[in-house]
């Protein structure tokens, strides 16, 4: 029995000696169970797991990441020293009795000691972003329908949100997959530049000169096509006559003056427009009234617009402007009264701002202009309903404060459109030498209006 006991003890001591060279069961290093492994085996297991590739997913696209690419390194020496210290903490004989009795020694998990290069990780993610991000594609114009085809959504890697996820995966022995944060970017709505392309495409077969100026009254952005070309003023210049009349009057217009204002704007009366020039002059002198209208326009910076002679009067008179001195595009404008699409659009913008209680008109003439007068002007312009041109391009019931005009070779319209998608100014002109057919200009000007309305009321 003694020999047997000694033999069993020797065998157990031998087993325990081997066991003591391995790490105790349940010991984890960096989240990896190294119980029963030798130091070399533990190091190999830890290295092999932490150096496995990470699977990064950019949407459905798998992008492998080798930890070496971000200079990831595990500090095995520090962790192994701590593991050995835990293993050897208990004395030989106390440990032997625990071994004989099958008692598992207590062990504290050893945290991962590892480093990586943040700079390299940022560079890797930046490269993924550069090769896989997609810019959203804007809506494109459709000339056949005067509408806009919806663009394509884009996507972009969120670098700031993705970096900590990848860093966490690098430090994890089990979670080696990362779904990168990718932001979806809605396609932008079409802008004024898109409208310009649509108008140019739609007017490509027109063999005269056309001009357009659009102002977004919410953002102040504008679109100009031949906007500084001089055109005949036509009845559109009754707008500045109305403005100057209100500026001249000290009180609200009386019944007779209201009638003149309404007939000039709504019925486009040339005779009544000339009578308003007399009101402006303060005497029976339309030439002086025209001069005062022109002076006001030029004080407002609208130096390409003038009225030299009242309507239908056979008196010579003109002004030289930068616009009518152009030689590249010539509409042979009426020498007696001229404007440009840009000047008229800017004047309408001033009226719109004045009606809201601000803008250039009130700043330039604080003692002569009032907000309620500008509101009344817009109401009068809204009563000018002809069912064509700008009006024909917007849905029924849309408020359009405008003034149209046409002559033998020039047709145009200038107005403010109050739409659900935003208020905007549209001034449009068409010219053809000698004679411009109404049957040609009317639908084209209405279609320009429709394209503009569709832009401001675009919805995806």
Q: What span, in angstroms and rounded, lies between the C-alpha atoms of 368 and 177?
A: 73
**Mean pLDDT lowest among 91-105, 137-151, 368-382:** 91-105
Please provide the average confidence, as pLDDT, over all residues in the chain.
93
- pLDDT score at 4: 78
Q: Which residue has the higher pLDDT, 378 or 92?
A: 378
Q: What span, in angstroms and rounded, lies between the C-alpha atoms of 412 and 192?
A: 20
pTM of the entire predicted model: 0.78
12 pLDDT tier (thresholds 50, 70, 90): low
62 pLDDT tier (thresholds 50, 70, 90): very high
Q: What span, in angstroms and rounded, lies between the C-alpha atoms of 177 and 268?
A: 74
Q: Which residue has the higher pLDDT, 450 or 98?
A: 450
Candidates 339, 309, 331, 313; CA nearest to 240 is 339
36 pLDDT tier (thresholds 50, 70, 90): confident
257 pLDDT tier (thresholds 50, 70, 90): very high
First and final CA of the chain: distance in angstroms? 94
Torsion 154-160-163-164 (CA) sign: negative
Candidates 154, 155, 78; CA nearest to 115 is 78
Tokens for 13, please give them: 């001591």
Torsion 280-282-285-291 (CA) sign: negative
Task: Judge residue 156's burial from the number of C-beta atoms within 10 Å of its C-beta, 0-12 exposed, 13-18 middle, 19 or more buried.
Answer: middle
CB atoms within 10 A of CB 30: 22
Whether the pLDDT of residue 13 is over 70: the answer is no
Q: What span, in angstroms and rounded, lies between the C-alpha atoms of 450 and 460?
A: 18
Output the CA angle 108-114-120, nearest 5 degrees.
160
pLDDT, tens digit, for every residue of 261-292?
999 999 999 999 999 999 999 999 999 999 99
Q: Chain centroid to CA 54: how far?
A: 37
Q: Phi and psi dihedrals of 189, rounded to 5?
A: -70, 155
Whether the pLDDT of residue 161 is over 90: the answer is yes
Cβ(256)–Cβ(277) below 8 Å: no
144 pLDDT tier (thresholds 50, 70, 90): confident
pLDDT (average), residues 371-388: 96
């Amino acid at each position: 029995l003694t020999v047997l006991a000694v033999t069993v003890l020797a065998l157990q001591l031998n087993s325990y000696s081997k066991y003591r060279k391995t790490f105790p069961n349940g010991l984890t290093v960096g989240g990896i169970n190294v119980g029963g492994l030798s130091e070399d085996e533990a190091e190999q297991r830890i290295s092999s797991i932490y150096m496995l590739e990470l699977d990064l997913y950019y949407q459905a696209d798998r992008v492998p990441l080798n930890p070496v690419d971000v200079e990831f390194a595990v500090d095995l020496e520090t962790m192994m020293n701590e593991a050995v210290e835990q293993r050897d903490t208990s004395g030989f004989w106390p440990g032997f009795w625990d071994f004989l009795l099958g008692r598992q020694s207590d062990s504290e998990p050893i945290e991962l000691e590892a480093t990586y290069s943040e700079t390299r990780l940022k560079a890797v993610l930046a490269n993924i972003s550069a090769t896989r991000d997609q810019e959203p594609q804007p809506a494109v114009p459709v000339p056949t329908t005067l509408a806009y085809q919806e663009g394509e959504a884009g996507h972009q890697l969120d670098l700031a949100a993705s970096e900590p996820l990848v860093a966490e995966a690098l430090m994890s022995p089990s979670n080696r997959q990362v779904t990168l944060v990718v932001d979806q970017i809605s396609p932008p709505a079409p802008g004024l530049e898109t409208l310009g392309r649509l108008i140019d495409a739609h007017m490509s077969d027109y063999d005269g000169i056309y001009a357009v100026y659009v102002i977004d009254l919410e953002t102040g952005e504008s679109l100009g096509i031949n906007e500084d070309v001089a055109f005949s003023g036509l009845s559109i210049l009754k707008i500045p006559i109305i403005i100057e009349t209100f500026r001249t009057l000290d009180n609200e217009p009386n019944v007779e003056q209201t009638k003149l204002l309404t007939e000039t704007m709504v019925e486009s009366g040339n005779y009544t427009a000339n009578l308003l020039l007399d009101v402006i002059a303060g005497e029976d002198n339309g030439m002086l009234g025209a001069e005062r209208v022109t002076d006001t326009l030029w004080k407002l910076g609208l130096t390409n617009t003038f009225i030299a002679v009242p309507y239908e009067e056979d008196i010579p008179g003109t002004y030289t402007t930068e616009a009518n001195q152009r030689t590249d595009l010539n509409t042979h404008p009426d020498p007696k009264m001229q404007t440009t699409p840009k000047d008229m659009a800017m004047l309408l913008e001033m009226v719109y701002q004045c009606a809201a209680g601000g803008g250039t008109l009130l700043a330039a003439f604080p003692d002569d202009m009032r907000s309620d007068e500008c509101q009344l002007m817009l109401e009068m312009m809204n009563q000018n309903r002809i069912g064509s041109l700008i009006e024909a391009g917007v849905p029924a019931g849309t408020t359009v404060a405008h003034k149209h005009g046409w002559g033998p070779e020039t047709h145009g319209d200038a107005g403010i459109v109050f739409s659900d998608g935003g208020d905007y100014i549209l001034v449009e002109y068409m010219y053809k030498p000698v004679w411009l057919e109404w049957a040609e200009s009317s639908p084209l000007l209405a279609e320009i209006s429709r394209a503009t309305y569709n832009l401001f009321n675009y919805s995806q």
